[in-house]
């Protein structure tokens, strides 16, 4: 198994940096890579954290997983990347002000582009294209808490492709009691097009965040590590029973309302995770942080919907969203659903 200059023989764990360059001032963006090469041929799982530099719950979960992982008991390979966006992480910024671009939206990248485009190019070529499954950890950043698995909507839900069926299974196998998909076109740029074209099954735990480390942080890390092991079990790369919140996983169609504040200010949320919101209800208010005057009320104008497990609870200064409303698409039952997936072998001994 080889990533860049890093090589791991069967049964080995190796650590090194994937060379991707840096800033003109000398900040290195080289990506930390842990390679676990299994002792039997099998698929390759990529687990990555902090593609958004302020989202480090997944990074901690990955570091815990790395401590526990034993490559001599592994089928296939694991590439574990605790921090992908090193510049953003180092500066405490979601994107990183070096070029203001989101690496996750640049794949397959551009070798002649800006720093983020060059990082995306090398990472796509050396890491993503060697993997069949990508577990891409995100969270609510520093100011909101989230607890669901996000994945791309099926193109035709009645006739899901093999990739889409595997994605559905892994979203449930991860172990949370909630998952959600966004209808096509919810976002301006589709982050997943290049990954899907390359045949990569991507699921995105939106897990943790906010200011309460003792309230949710430690729990989120434990759920993240548990989820990595569950995905390995579903991919039949390690033995063992999966562990989950419970037997049921509610799948939300998250396309009803994607709240963005009309104005900047202090966002005061009035509806909690899981609440039903009816037409005319107030989801939250934006108030002037200095006078307390209400600047905007966020009234629900569409059909009855449910608050997806997540959303911003802290002052808003032009951020992407303060919450999402969806409807229940279906409820999956782990007791009757076969969560295992079968993928061809990749990588192999170097
Ligand atoms: Zn993110």
- pLDDT tens for each residue of 5-24: 999 999 999 999 999 999 98
Give the distance (Å) from ligand 1 centre to CA of residue 139: 6
Percent of the chain at pLDDT exceeding 70:
96
Give the distance (Å) from ligand 1 centre to CA of residue 218: 19
Rounded CA Rg of the chain: 20
Instruction: Yes or no: say if 27 and 15 are a contact pair by the CB < 8 Å rule.
Output: no
pLDDT in tens, 122-136: 999 999 999 999 999
Domain with CATH 2.40.50 in the chain: 257-327
Percent of the chain at pLDDT exceeding 90:
74
pLDDT at residue 349 in the model: 40
Element containing residue 227 per DSSP (H, E): helix 218-234
Domain with CATH 3.40.630.10 in the chain: 2-246
Give the distance (Å) from ligand 1 centre to CA of residue 202: 14
Give the distance (Å) from ligand 1 centre to CA of residue 141: 7
Would the pLDDT of 348 be above 50? no
Cβ count near 73 (within 10 Å): 13
Give the distance (Å) from ligand 1 centre to CA of residue 10: 33
Domain 257-327 in CATH 2.40.50? The answer is: yes
Give the distance (Å) from ligand 1 centre to CA of residue 55: 6
120 three-class SS: helix
Give the distance (Å) from ligand 1 centre to CA of residue 95: 9
pLDDT at residue 182 in the model: 87
Would the pLDDT of 300 be above 70? yes
Residue 113 CA to residue 219 CA, distance in Å, equals 39
Nearest to 152 by CA among 28, 280, 254, 43: 254
Q: Strands 75-81 and 248-259, how do they pair?
A: unpaired
Give the distance (Å) from ligand 1 centre to CA of residue 160: 26
Residue 77 CA to residue 1 CA, distance in Å, equals 8
Give the distance (Å) from ligand 1 centre to CA of residue 348: 31
pLDDT in tens, 166-219: 999 999 999 999 999 988 777 655 567 889 899 999 999 999 988 777 778 999
Give the distance (Å) from ligand 1 centre to CA of residue 9: 33
More confident residue, 110 or 98: 110
The token duo for 252 is 């939300």
User: What average pLDDT score do residues 228-240 get?
Assistant: 98
Give the distance (Å) from ligand 1 centre to CA of residue 206: 8
List strand residue ranges (DSSP E) for the chain, in order: 2-3, 6-7, 13-18, 31-37, 40-48, 75-81, 133-136, 146-152, 178-182, 201-208, 248-259, 266-269, 276-277, 282-287, 294-299, 305-307, 323-333
Give the distance (Å) from ligand 1 centre to CA of residue 248: 26
Give the distance (Å) from ligand 1 centre to CA of residue 140: 7
Give the distance (Å) from ligand 1 centre to CA of residue 52: 5
Give the distance (Å) from ligand 1 centre to CA of residue 349: 33
Q: Exposed e or buried b for every residue in 203-216, given b needs 16+ CB within 10 A?
A: bbbbbbbbeeeeeb
Element containing residue 170 per DSSP (H, E): helix 162-173
Give the distance (Å) from ligand 1 centre to CA of residue 250: 22
Residue 30 CA to residue 16 CA, distance in Å, equals 9
Give the distance (Å) from ligand 1 centre to CA of residue 321: 12
Residue 237 CA to residue 38 CA, distance in Å, equals 9
The tokens 């983020």 sit on which residue?
A: 116
Instruction: Yes or no: say if 299 and 259 are a contact pair by the CB < 8 Å rule.
Output: no
Give the distance (Å) from ligand 1 centre to CA of residue 50: 7
Q: Strands 2-3 and 6-7, how do they pair?
A: antiparallel
Domain 2-246 in CATH 3.30.9.10? The answer is: no
Give the distance (Å) from ligand 1 centre to CA of residue 159: 29
The token duo for 33 is 């890579």
175 three-class SS: coil
pLDDT tier, 315 (very low <50, low <70, confident <90, very high otherwise): confident
């Amino acid at each position: 198994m080889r990533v860049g200059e890093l090589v791991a023989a069967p049964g080995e764990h190796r650590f090194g940096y994937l060379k991707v360059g840096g800033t003109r001032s000398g900040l290195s963006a080289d990506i930390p890579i842990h390679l676990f090469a299994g002792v039997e041929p099998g698929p390759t799982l990529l687990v990555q954290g902090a593609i958004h530099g302020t989202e480090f719950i997944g990074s901690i979960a990955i570091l815990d997983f790395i401590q526990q992982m034993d490559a001599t008991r592994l089928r296939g390979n694991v590439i574990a990347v605790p921090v992908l966006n090193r510049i953003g992480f180092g500066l405490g910024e979601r994107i990183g002000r070096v070029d203001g671009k989101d690496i996750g939206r640049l794949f397959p990248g551009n070798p002649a582009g800006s720093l983020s485009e060059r990082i995306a190019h090398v990472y796509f070529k050396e890491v993503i294209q060697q993997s069949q499954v990508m577990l891409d950890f995100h969270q609510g950043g520093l100011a909101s808490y989230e607890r669901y698995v996000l994945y791309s909507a099926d193109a035709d839900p009645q006739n899901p492709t093999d990739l889409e069926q595997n994605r559905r299974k892994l979203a449930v196998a991860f172990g949370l009691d909630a998952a959600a998909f966004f209808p096509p076109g919810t976002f301006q740029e589709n982050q997943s097009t290049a990954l899907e074209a390359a045949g990569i099954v991507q699921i995105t735990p939106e897990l943790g965040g906010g200011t309460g480390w003792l309230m949710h942080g430690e729990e989120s890390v434990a759920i993240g590590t548990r989820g990595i092991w569950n995905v390995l079990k579903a991919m039949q790369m390690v033995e063992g029973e999966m562990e989950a919140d419970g037997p049921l996983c509610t799948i939300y169609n998250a396309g009803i309302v994607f709240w963005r504040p009309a104005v900047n200010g202090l966002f005061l949320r009035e509806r909690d995770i899981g609440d039903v919101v009816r037409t005319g209800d107030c989801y939250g208010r934006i108030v002037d942080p200095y006078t307390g005057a209400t600047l905007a009320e966020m009234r629900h104008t569409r059909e009855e919907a449910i608050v997806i497990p997540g959303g911003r609870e802290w002052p808003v200064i032009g951020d992407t969203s303060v919450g999402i409303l969806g409807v229940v698409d279906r409820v999956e039952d782990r007791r009757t659903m076969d969560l295992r997936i079968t993928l061809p072998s990749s990588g192999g001994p170097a």
